[in-house]
Structure 1
């Protein structure tokens, strides 16, 4: 597959032929990664997750309730893409409203992992990651609320990057949890991820959470020979299975051999990540999804009165996982439980952020697993709590608003990719990408 860097040098005629080739590949693929083949103008084709607005395109967030809804405006990330010679091309499948870790909750059915079609690709940006890994997309945009870019990238053996909160505009991104969501790139390698990140980043007056300062472009100044201090959290790694631990330890040795300084740290608050995240994320989700009532957006159920309209539309339109999270969110926000759960979770969130910042006083980056195991088989996870635990390594990055990047380091005996992530302090994407480029060079992963 041609890389994003290479595609940006092609002529209009060559890009037109490339777009036609990708569309044909998508049509014959059995991955169920694409849910649409629309294109918008000219440029290098970039696959777009189904929760990012592209004017004139259907945008459904993988949900039945939004069938028939067409985006009336363009997300800022899409506008920025077009300004850099790229274009929106194709819709990527996803977990419904980004609520899931396997892309099995989509209205369109599950996406398959190209490294093993009986395996999930991760989620919620599973369609984006599977398409890039399967060679039916050059690069893609995903969104990351609790690991939804980094985890599917790790499962599929590609590079996935979550920017610092506020670095990429959320205007035009269908909200799951507004204080956690970030749009980011999924690509074949670190340099392509940096190119795509450079294209979409920047301040946006339409997004009140957008950071109002500019940072230099990164892709043209990548330095894989940088020497950094990298922290590892030994107790954190112990929760992963033997394959992940082995890959982690081997990668630490390769980073040390490449000249990086490895320091061993502890971070006790990580045990609260899952509980804190699911209290805050579901509370925000319950509020954000209240707008889907059969009146303003998408699907409208048959009903005799307004109350019945709301009830029928939401009952028929939302899937089980979305309903579960709405119910949990309404519970933690309800009278008598707000202080006990929501307020307490906000306080713990600050403690989690402080834990990361204390490590960054002595280290440039943190190396961590992305998931406790390789991609599970489709249909193998029946307990929602088991799925929530698969996000144990990624949630803290979103709670603290930090940037992180996942890249593949090796495969297990079954040929399934293992990915690890680097985490940097807020707005230090330059160090993050340089560290990732160095790690990519050190591990020398081959697909």
Structure 2
């Protein structure tokens, strides 16, 4: 079988690409690989399994649970819980592994399966390849009392909410917030956590029916939140995605506050409190140059990684750094979480507002976003993007012209015959012109 793990687990069209049979096989293979790596020690292995609100999550959950139990793993079934909640409860319940069934911000017909190791950490590429290699292999099946037991962990959601509340340095009394739950996994957690901290909560898109997750809602569709914040005269709004591992914010005027601005606010707060380990924040290549410039002015070091929160996590763990994230709203606060946590980030943004008495718009001025233009060039040979001399010469010339004022990033897609051209410049017109010119070179030089 070929490579099936992507940058964030296994994803595909549920019941077509991601079938019940594949889910069972993945669960069995994961149990075997993690067991052989010593994760289970001498005791009976345990796992937690959670899902988002997609209707397909119900049969995939059943398949994953069946696969784990058939391999002799005891399963705590959590029900609908955000991805960071699954990670927290994997650690909190001292489980040997966690399984999250979700396709995050993808459309409802998709679904996915991601595995977590002991402590709630994502698996690295090497371990995922081992799981793939063990799919459908013959194995000795336990029988009788040796098969796994399955139970529902009804207290898990409450434990996660209490954890979120405990992380806040201040109460949120006096703040009115709108939460866009995307009809996803945060529909209970988000409002409960904010209400427990004393905030006045207006929840929108918080009525999942199995088919409406991410539908014109959440962090990929913030327009509704922007309107709701203004209509309710709220102090701020926060939008989560389907599995609530990312967050975007909206200020009182309805203006969007993206992941870079959120990171800038939290980085400066951490620097002030002395909790910004190594004076460093970890971001991806897509983070706006305005963010990097703001951090440089504050004396904060930026470590850049490839695009993907898993690469941010790897760099954070390697350097023992406390804060990292992506422009898309994945914010990782290592002191409190092992993965991106949208509700956690929202709570700490609101706490910063409450502690300083400043508005979110004012806090957002910590950085000035440079205009950023992204052009996708389809149907080209992405494998030659790093080696074509004419294209590389054009990139070098554009980079030289923008030196000190902007930047150019040429990035081949990892899964499609597509090359992405990203340009940042002092003005939107200049960014568009440079991006379009480079896209034309890509089309000519990398034509299939």
TM-score over 0.5 for the pair: no
Higher normalized contact order (CA 8 Å, seq sep 6+, divided by chain length):
1
Normalised to the residue count of structure 1, the TM-score between the two structures is 0.29
Larger radius of gyration: 2
